Amino acid sequence: MDRAGVLNVKNGRRVVLVVEDSFLIRLNALDTIARTGYEALEAQNADDAILILEARQDIDLVFTDVQMPGSMDGIELCQYVRILWPHVKLLVASGVFQLQEQSLPSGCIFLSKPYSDRAITNAITKLLGV
């Protein structure tokens, strides 16, 4: 959806931004998301993700790790996204922290690492309602 609440579907596909500093984990998530039929974008940290979010108005979901280098971690990124892009769905993952969804911004889903490809697709499907 855009800021006016209109659903964004580019070429019939929803857009997912993966924010992950580990190259192999990011690559696997991008591949899984693309195989599921979504357009997959990538960022290595929250700073890069914010630049992408500012440049594109068609991002439906941000899938972020918690611990990353840069000016903010994944939790702070989620809080920032929730304020500036409230329509964007949020999926948070960590292999270090066990977070309760009630401790995250509203509407977030948490995945514990290591997660399966099926867990990613199930969470995205639940969040995007497709």
User: 71: domain CATH number?
Assistant: 3.40.50.2300
Is residue 4 assigned to a domain? no
Is residue 80 assigned to a domain? yes
Is residue 102 assigned to a domain? yes
Residue 111 to residue 94: CA distance in whole angstroms: 7
**pLDDT tens digit sequence for 98-108:** 666 666 778 89
> Domain range for residue 114?
15-128
CB 72 within 8 A of CB 79: no
Q: What strands, in cross-sheet order, belong to the sheet with 89-94?
A: 39-43, 15-19, 61-65, 89-94, 108-112
Residue 51 to residue 29: CA distance in whole angstroms: 20
Is residue 7 assigned to a domain? no
pLDDT of residue 99: 67
pLDDT of residue 104: 77
Is residue 75 assigned to a domain? yes
Q: Which of 75, 67, 56 is nearest to 20 (CA)?
A: 67
Is residue 2 assigned to a domain? no
52-56 mean pLDDT: 98
Asked whether the whole model's pTM tops 0.85, one would answer: yes
**pLDDT tens digit sequence for 14-34:** 999 999 999 999 999 999 999
Query: What is the tally of structural domains in the chain?
Result: 1
Which amino acid does the sequence have at 111? Answer: L
